[in-house]
Amino acid sequence: MMLKKEWQAILKHKFFIIVIIALALVPAIYNYIFLGSMWDPYGKLNDLPVAVVNLDKTSELNGKKFKLGDDVITEMKKSKDLDYHFVSKDKASEGIKKGDYYMVITFPENFSENATTLMNKEPKTVQLDYQTTRGHNYISSKMSESAMNQLKSEVSKNITQTYTKEIFAKLGDMKSGMKEASDGSNKLADGTSSALSGSTELTNNLNTLSSSSVTFNNGADSLNFGLNKFVSGV
């Protein structure tokens, strides 16, 4: 009887009704926010914004100007797998601090220079610098480590494939040029021998690089994506 009177008293005051409804909605609102933060990062990597900064400087390959960073980024812009944002160094730095980006990928100044060592006896590894953020809220910070590992893996794969395509295209042009030079030379035999020697050296270096890759470097660890399957096609 007393409980009934209490409810009747409460229902007479709109303020109490509003308070009760608000309290009832708190768990629902919390669940909505929680579940919204727990979306599957592995299936929606294209929703994670990644800033890309190009500091690469022009180098030379076979006597020609060579800026691989520009070529790789041109291909990256065509990709729909990840949400790339091509920005300046300052904007990327500011964006990751504000939480606008989950990762910043930087093409260093020596990106092209190192790529041109493919024909050397000891080719250098091409490295990209990266920086990550822990996300926008507490929940995402708890899940960010595994999400970032997945993101870094996908970015590494994406960029390495693009890098391989572009560097092999450049080397293909170089081999064609060697053949043309050989055909137009009076010393055809010497030219053919030189071209064959260059081709053999190229093959040897590609085999050396088959266990190498474009790597991500943050001073602590790196992610590798081998070039084995591309070497077999050369």
Q: Are strands 126-132 and 59-61 parallel, antiparallel or unpaired?
A: unpaired
pLDDT for the residue 185: 46
pTM: 0.57
Three-state DSSP state, 173: helix
pLDDT for the residue 38: 47
Contacts of 202 (CB under 8 A, 6+ apart): 118, 119, 171, 175, 234
In a domain, 11, yes or no: no
pLDDT for the residue 225: 34
Residues of the chain whose pLDDT is less than 70?
A: 1-17, 19-20, 22-23, 25-45, 118-119, 133-156, 158-160, 162-163, 167, 170-234
pLDDT for the residue 57: 93
Tell me how far apart the alpha carbons of residues 183 and 86 are, in angstroms, rounded to a whole number. Answer: 43
Please tell me the total count of domains within the chain.
1
Determine the structural domain holding residue 90 and report its residue range: 45-231
In a domain, 100, yes or no: yes
Tell me how far apart the alpha carbons of residues 141 and 185 are, in angstroms, rounded to a whole number. Answer: 64
Spatial CA neighbour of 146 closest among 31, 32, 38, 225: 38
In a domain, 138, yes or no: yes
In a domain, 20, yes or no: no
Contacts of 141 (CB under 8 A, 6+ apart): 134, 135
- Beta bridge partners, 83, equal 49
In a domain, 108, yes or no: yes
In a domain, 19, yes or no: no
Of the chain, the end-to-end C-alpha distance in Å amounts to 89
Tell me how far apart the alpha carbons of residues 145 and 139 are, in angstroms, rounded to a whole number. Answer: 11
Are the beta carbons of 80 and 28 closer than 8 angstroms?
A: no
DSSP 91: H
In a domain, 132, yes or no: yes
Contacts of 157 (CB under 8 A, 6+ apart): 225
In a domain, 3, yes or no: no
Structure tokens, 165: 């395509």
